[in-house]
Amino acid sequence: MKKKAQIAQMVQKTSEMRKEEDQLKHSLEVAKKEKLELEERHGRQTNQVLNMMKRVRSLEQQVQDVQEQHVKNTQAEESEMEEKLNELQHVIDVANSTISRLKGDESALSDRVSKRVNEMSKLIEEVHSYVKKDKDIRSQILELRQNSSNKVMAFGGDRVTQLLKVIERYHQRFQRPPIGPIGVHVSLVGGDKWALALENAIGRLLNAFIVTSHKDSLLLRSCAAQAEYGNLQIIIYDFSRPRLAIPSHMLPQTSHPTTLSVVKSDDDTVLNVLVDMGNAERQVLVEDYDSGKAVAFDRRVSNLKEVFTLEGYRM
């Protein structure tokens, strides 16, 4: 029932993420439309500037013609020409003022277009990120459905089942029976709340086997070959070593839980391997990104190795 609830929760989360993806796509379309409108407006104002410059050149030519004619005109005509020159100068001043204003508008438009382009790039990155998250969640749902019926199958599938049968045939040749897969010997404290976080924190160790000597590791490797289990992770560890006692001052100084604090096992060797090989006591688990950011970056937490969110993401 817990697995079904987890699946339902993850399916619901997938639906929510799809809705958010659709909203982001809609925002992207709106941004693209606004960009086109800004570009069209920029084009119109550019044409206006060009027309104004042509008008200025025409007026300057008129001024030049008037000045040449001025030399030839009489005193009476000179007064009339002077008035026309003043009028033309006023037109030129207005044109120059308009050109300056349009240049300022062009600069502002360019800044807005650049800002919109950056916003669209960020939206595209967010869409890609959510698509990837959706794909990952679907993969996890499928994996949970396939493995929920058999805990051993969840850590290695058919290969580990065959390997355990081979180990059983050769068990008298081992100095100490191998322990594994590690995941079979580990359970969560207080339910599956931190399941995704732990999968990313110590998941690489959950399929591994533990042996007590190099000789046993060679024998286990031979058993894996017979079971066609390639690349089996084998950890050599002293089975007689008692459970590690970790002083509080060597743990992360935070109120958040650690990987070690949310798992339990009846086998001290398993817990010791999680500490010595996985740094489980130094991996801090947080509810969300903001909490993780505070622990990983804003505060200087001593003895901290890694930070993982509830959704399984490593900070």
Q: What is the pLDDT along the chain (315 residues), one digit of tens a residue?
A: 666 677 777 777 777 778 887 887 887 888 788 888 878 887 887 887 778 778 878 877 887 776 776 666 666 666 777 787 787 788 788 878 877 787 777 777 777 877 887 887 777 777 676 566 556 545 544 554 444 444 554 566 788 989 999 999 998 999 999 999 999 899 999 888 999 999 999 988 999 999 999 999 999 999 999 999 989 999 999 999 999 999 999 999 999 999 999 999 999 999 999 999 999 999 999 999 988 888 888 778 888 999 999 988 898
Per the domain annotation, does 314 fall within a domain? Answer: no
| Domain termination residue (choose one: 147, 179, 209) | 147
Tell me whether the omega of the peptide bond preceding residue 177 falls within 30 degrees of 0, making it cis: no
Query: What does the alpha-carbon distance between residue 255 and residue 148 come to, in Å, rounded to a whole number?
Result: 32
Q: Do residues 183 and 189 lie in contact, with contact meaning Cβ atoms separated by under 8 Å?
A: no
Say whether both 143 and 17 belong to one domain: yes
Residue with tokens 């500037």: 49
Residue 110 in any domain: the answer is: yes
Residues 122 and 7 placed together within one structural domain of the fold: yes
CB 219 within 8 A of CB 154: no
Query: Residue 112 falls within a domain, yes or no?
Result: yes
Domain assignment present for residue 78? The answer is yes
Are 81 and 114 contained in the same domain? Answer: yes
117, 175: one domain: no
Q: What pLDDT does residue 131 have? A: 64
Determine if residue 238 is left, alpha or beta; phi over 0 gives left, psi from -120 to 50 gives alpha, anything else beta: beta
Domain that holds residue 299: 158-309
What does each C-alpha distance from 194 to 59, 70, 125, 145, 284 come to in angstroms?
78, 93, 28, 18, 11
Reported in sequence order, the residue ranges of the chain that DSSP labels E, i.e. its strands, are 187-188, 209-211, 234-236, 263-264, 283-286, 306-309
Q: Looking at the structure, tell me whether residues 173 and 279 fall in a common domain.
A: yes
Name the E strands within 168-262.
Answer: 187-188, 209-211, 234-236
Closest listed residue to residue 222, CA positions, set 236, 212, 239, 234: 234
266 near 236, Cβ under 8 Å?
no
End position of a domain, from candidates 113, 147, 181: 147
Q: Are strands 187-188 and 209-211 parallel, antiparallel or unpaired?
A: unpaired
**Same domain, residue pair 127 and 69:** yes
The three-class DSSP label of residue 83 is helix
Query: Is 57 a domain residue?
Result: yes
